[in-house]
Amino acid sequence: MVGAPHIAPLRALARKIATERNASVPDPDPLDGGVAARLLLLLETPGPSIGRTGFVSRDNATGTAANLFRFLAEAGIARGDTLIWNAIPWVIHAPGALNRAPRRAEAAAAAPYFAPLLALLPRLAVVVPAGRFAAGAAAPLAELRPDLPVIPVPHPSPTYVCTAPSVRERILAGLREAAARLAERG
């Protein structure tokens, strides 16, 4: 399944980035839509658990993944319509260390990879950046695809979701808006 045609081009892009950055880049989840995705869910960076699975997935054994799984289902977004990717697609933290906040230089180094990513997603109808850092990708994405709606939501990490009941509602509101955009485009 990891060699399936719907994710092969994305895996090739991940390998290219990994080689150029000399860092680990997780593969997209083969159970998601791959190049047929209509919704790009853009997280911030791969977390420390990526080394165990090798995938960016709502099925990973993390609280963030569990929240994504639940929120996407509650919003009525079909799995086949999604691709989960990271604004900085490579692992930025030291082996064995906790994840850390991305640096501006890392964001600048990641920006050129949006063009080849978007080129692989011909059906893309909406981007949902999750978290403050991922929302910073809105400007480079708008330059590349001014027609593409970008709907930022709070980061789905359990730490942040538990800070206030409104966080969960803001995530769901954004995902429901994205689901409505998908429905509009059929």
Identify the three-state secondary structure at position 129. Answer: strand
Q: Tokens at residue 75, please?
A: 């919003």
Cβ-Cβ contacts under 8 Å for 169 (sequence gap 6 or more):
none
* R_g over Cα of the chain: 15
Determine whether 121 is exposed, middle or buried from the number of CB atoms within 10 Å of its CB (0-12, 13-18, 19+): buried
Q: What's the pLDDT score for residue 96?
A: 74
pLDDT in tens, 95-146: 777 777 889 999 999 999 999 999 999 999 999 999 999 999 999 999 999 9
Run of H or E residues at 25? none
Dihedral, 180, 147, 83, 36 alpha carbons, nearest 10:
90
Q: What is the CATH architecture assignment of 8-184?
A: 3-Layer(aba) Sandwich (3.40)
Nearest to 31 by CA among 101, 81, 91: 81
| DSSP code at position 4 | -
Q: Would you list the domain boundaries of the chain?
A: 8-184
Q: Tokens at residue 65, please?
A: 């993944």
Q: Residue 183: what residue type?
A: A
Q: Tokens at residue 63, please?
A: 């609280």
Could you give phi then psi for residue 126, rounded to 5 degrees? -160, 145
Strands 27-28 and 55-56: parallel
pLDDT at 180 over 80: yes
Rounded distance, CA 102 to CA 155, Å?
14
Q: What's the pLDDT score for residue 99?
A: 75
Alpha helices, DSSP H, located in the chain: 8-21, 50-53, 63-74, 104-110, 114-119, 132-135, 138-144, 158-161, 165-184
Percent of the chain with pLDDT over 70: 99
Instruction: Report pTM.
Output: 0.95
Q: What's the pLDDT score for residue 2?
A: 74
Task: Please identify which residue in the block is written with the tokens 């609280």.
Answer: 63
